[in-house]
């Protein structure tokens, strides 16, 4: 039989957030719970319904979606990380574009590619002119 594991964060940043949950079908209104209160309420529910063999409720200090630290510090770390990751990639794109541009300019195919591009532009202009008439 499968078991359900429920993880509830009780760290101070998460306990400041409150969830509105209706735990019992007899409840007329949903209750507001924060981390520790939600943990206690769900553990009580599991115990009353005798679901201990199928449901486990775990207390964790912080989950991956929980922001830690000041927002300015998080933005700074994100910006520095982006620079270190994106800079070499963008430099690589620029290097490839430069090499391909030099290769195209100094090849015998450059004249044929210019002619082909001109044919496509003229064809697009003719098509546009014919569409306006009809």
Q: Mind listing the pLDDT tens digit for each residue in 99-121?
A: 888 777 777 777 888 889 999 99
Q: What is the pLDDT of residues 116-128, one digit of tens each?
A: 999 999 999 999 9
- The pTM of the full predicted model, rounded to 2 decimals, is 0.39
DSSP per-residue codes, the chain: ---EEEEEE-SHHHHTS-EEE--STT-SSPEEE-HHHHHHHHHHHHHHTT-TTTEEEEEES--TTS--S-HHHHHHHHHHHHHHHHHHHHHHHHHHHHHHHHHHHTSTHHHHHHHHHHHHHHHHHHHHHHHHH-
Domain ranges of the chain: 4-60, 71-133
């Amino acid at each position: 039989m499968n078991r359900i594991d429920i993880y509830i964060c009780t760290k101070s940043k998460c306990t400041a957030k409150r969830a509105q949950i209706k735990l019992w079908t007899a409840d007329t209104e949903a209750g507001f719970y924060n981390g520790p209160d939600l943990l206690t309420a769900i553990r009580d529910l599991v115990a009353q319904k005798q679901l201990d063999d199928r449901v486990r409720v775990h207390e964790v200090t912080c989950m991956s979606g929980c922001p830690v630290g000041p927002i300015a510090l998080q933005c700074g770390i994100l910006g520095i990380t982006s620079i270190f990751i994106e800079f070499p990639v963008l430099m690589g794109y620029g290097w490839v574009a430069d090499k391909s541009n030099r290769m195209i300019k100094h090849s015998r195919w450059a004249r044929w590619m210019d002619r082909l591009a001109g044919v496509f532009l003229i064809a697009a202009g003719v098509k546009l002119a014919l569409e306006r008439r009809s």
